[in-house]
Structure 1
Amino acid sequence: MRSDQPDLASTIPHPLIAERWSPRAFDPDGAVTPDALARMVEAARWAPSYGNTQPARYLVGPRGTDTFDRVLDRLNAGNRVWAHRAGALLVACAQTRNDKGEVPYAEYGVGLATENLVLQAVAEGLVAHQMAGFDRDGVSAEFGLPESVRPLVAIAVGVLGSPELLEPEKRERETAPRRRIAAEELAFTGTWGTPYLSPGGG
Structure 2
Amino acid sequence: MTLLTDTRRAETAAPLHDLLAERWSPRSFDPEFVVPDEAVTALMEAARWAPSAANFQPRRFIVARRGSEAFQAVTDALSEGNRPWAPNASLFVVAIALTKDADGKPYRWAEYDAGQAIAHLTVQAHALGLHVHPMGGFDPEAIALSFELPEGAVAVSVNAIGAAAPADLLPERYRSREAAPRTRLPLEELVVVDD
Q: Could you tell me which of 166, 189, 193 is aligned with 2:194?
A: 189
Gaps of 5+ in 1: 1-7, 191-202
Measure the CA separation in 2 of the matches of 1:158 and 1:38.
14
Q: Which has the larger radius of gyration?
A: 1
1:35 aligns with 2:64: no
- 2:67 matches 1:64: yes
SS at structure 2 position matched to 1:155 = strand
Counterpart among 11, 20, 24 of residue 21 in structure 1: 24
2:126 equivalent among 122, 139, 146: 122
Distance 2:87 2:30 in 1: 10
1:171 aligns with one of 175, 182, 185: 175
Fraction of identical pairs, as percent: 42
Within a 5 Å distance, the mapping from 1:1-202 to structure 2 comes to: 11-99=14-102, 101-187=105-191, 188-190=193-195
Displacement of 1:10 in angstroms is 7.5
Superposed CA offset, 1:88-136 (max 9, x none):
0121110112246321211111111110111111111000101111111
1:44-82 deviations in whole A, cap 9, x for unaligned?
A: 101111110111211100112221111111111221110
Which structure has more strand as a fraction of its residues? Answer: 1
Give the gaps of 5 or more residues in structure 2.
Answer: 1-10
CA distance in 1, matches of 2:172, 2:67: 27
When normalised by structure 2's length, the TM-score is 0.88
TM-score in terms of structure 1 length: 0.86
Q: Give per-residue Cα distances to partners, 1:138-169, cap 9 Å, x unaligned.
A: 11011100002111111100000010011222
Specify the code of the residue in structure 1 equivalent to 2:76. D
- Flag the 1:173–1:136 CA change in 2: closer, same or farther, 3 A: same
Alpha-carbon contact 1:50-1:104 (below 8 Å) kept: no
How many residues get paired? 183
Amino acid of the residue matched to residue 194 of structure 2? Answer: T
Per the TM alignment, residue 183 of structure 1 is displaced from its structure 2 partner at its CA by 2.5
